[in-house]
């Protein structure tokens, strides 16, 4: 009997970037290392992704404000819940709706983050969803706001952001634009720009907006801005250091997505997990940071007054699998007690 020689390639252990950027994983992680973004094709089966999109349409129609998915003339703020020009919907407990939690609990979505952090012990953000309708004249235009979602004073890989795309999203259908490779230049950039005079105001330290000068610097370094194209069910991932923003659709195609951001529970303090537990119990929204760094509880307006259609809980109580419940951080908190 002859012997065979087998070459076994084992993916490096530890969190992504912990072994530098010259290692090879043989999957989407290589793109994250090199480019600062990646697409996991079909992380959610297409049929299921379209079902989640249906769920969002049903939810929008359920406000009974006159919106009908087949009638573009009803795409108007008078017929819709409050959605800003960036497509962000920040009210109505949408972070805890069935479709939102459904996407967060998708096994292949969770698995992608498990691979990146090399642990199954993760928590998920109670983030928003994106609802971008084309040809909107009833709200202000969406201007580019290139930014990083990370404190310049806290360098290194800290957070992987993600979204699950739910509708066909071609080159002109709007969506996420990323600056390829700029995650690796972040430290150098902030060293150079630390005494920048014209800083863009931010309500949180975990956000940095690029000025014209900053964008020129990136351009000189040869960085290219890429609009990511995606099919229903594709998971888009990007390093928080990667400059990004979104653009509106230039076609008749709407864009729906659910933001999914996970981090190891070990990165959160007990205090943060307590805040997160409260946010979950009160079905409140957080930003993309899964450690509930910021709980979002902003008033929602309709014609300048408190929106009478605002609500503080989802249509149905949140349904979680055991795996999903772990993602709230609550079981880990119980272990700490």
> Given the rule CB under 5 A, which residues bind Fe ion?
149
Cα 257 to Cα 32: distance, rounded to the nearest angstrom: 20
Name which of 96 and 244 has its Cβ closer to Fe ion.
Answer: 244
Tell me which residue of 252, 258, 303, 300 sits closest to 133, measured CA to CA.
Answer: 252
CB of 220 to Fe ion, least distance (A): 23
CB of 244 to Fe ion, least distance (A): 6
Tell me which residue of 143, 174, 183, 141 sits closest to 32, measured CA to CA.
Answer: 183
CB of 245 to Fe ion, least distance (A): 7
* Residues 171/174/176/177 CA torsion (nearest 10 deg): 60
Structure tokens at 60: 């929008």
CB of 288 to Fe ion, least distance (A): 7
Is residue 328 within 8 Å of residue 277, measured between CB atoms?
Answer: yes
Name which of 96 and 241 has its Cβ closer to Fe ion.
Answer: 241
Tell me which residue of 131, 60, 48, 128 sits closest to 94, measured CA to CA.
Answer: 128
Name which of 169 and 273 has its Cβ closer to Fe ion.
Answer: 169
CB of 238 to Fe ion, least distance (A): 9
CB of 321 to Fe ion, least distance (A): 28
Name which of 149 and 239 has its Cβ closer to Fe ion.
Answer: 149
Q: Report which residue's Cβ sits closest to Fe ion.
A: 149
Name which of 149 and 234 has its Cβ closer to Fe ion.
Answer: 149
CB of 162 to Fe ion, least distance (A): 11
The per-residue b/e assignment along 237-274, b for 16 or more CB within 10 angstroms, e otherwise, is: bbbbbbbbbbbbbeeebbbbbbbbbbbbbebbeeebbb
51 CB neighbour count, 10 Å cutoff: 15
Name which of 146 and 181 has its Cβ closer to Fe ion.
Answer: 146
């Amino acid at each position: 009997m002859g012997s065979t020689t087998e070459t076994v390639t084992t993916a490096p252990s530890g969190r992504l970037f912990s072994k530098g950027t010259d290692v090879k994983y043989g999957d989407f992680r290589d793109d994250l290392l090199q480019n600062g973004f990646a697409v996991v094709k079909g992380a959610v089966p297409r049929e299921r992704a379209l079902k989640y999109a249906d769920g969002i349409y049903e939810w929008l129609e359920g406000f009974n404000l006159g919106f009908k998915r087949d009638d573009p003339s009803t795409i108007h703020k008078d017929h819709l819940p409050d959605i800003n020009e960036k497509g962000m919907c920040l009210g109505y407990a949408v972070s805890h709706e069935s479709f939102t939690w459904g996407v967060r609990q998708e096994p292949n979505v969770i698995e992608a983050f498990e691979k990146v952090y090399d642990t199954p012990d993760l928590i998920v953000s109670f983030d928003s969803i994106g609802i971008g309708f084309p040809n909107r004249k009833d709200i202000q235009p969406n201007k580019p706001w290139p930014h990083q979602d990370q404190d310049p004073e806290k360098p290194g890989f800290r957070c992987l952001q993600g979204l699950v795309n739910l509708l066909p999203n071609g080159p002109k259908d709007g969506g996420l634009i990323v600056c390829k490779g700029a995650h690796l230049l972040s430290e150098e950039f902030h060293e150079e720009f630390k005494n920048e005079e014209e800083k863009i105001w931010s309500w949180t330290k975990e956000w940095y907006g690029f000025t014209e000068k900053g964008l020129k610097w990136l351009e000189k370094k040869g960085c290219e801005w890429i609009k990511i194209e995606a099919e229903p069910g594709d998971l888009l991932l990007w390093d928080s250091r990667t400059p990004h923003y979104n653009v509106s659709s230039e076609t008749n195609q709407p864009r729906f997505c659910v933001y999914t951001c996970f981090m190891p529970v070990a990165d959160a303090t007990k205090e943060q997990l307590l805040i997160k537990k409260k946010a979950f119990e009160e079905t409140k929204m957080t930003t993309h940071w899964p450690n509930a760094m910021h709980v979002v509880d902003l008033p929602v307006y309709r014609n300048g007054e408190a929106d009478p259609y605002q609500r503080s809980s989802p249509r149905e109580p949140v349904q979680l699998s055991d795996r999903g419940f772990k993602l709230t951080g609550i079981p880990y908190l119980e272990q700490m007690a």
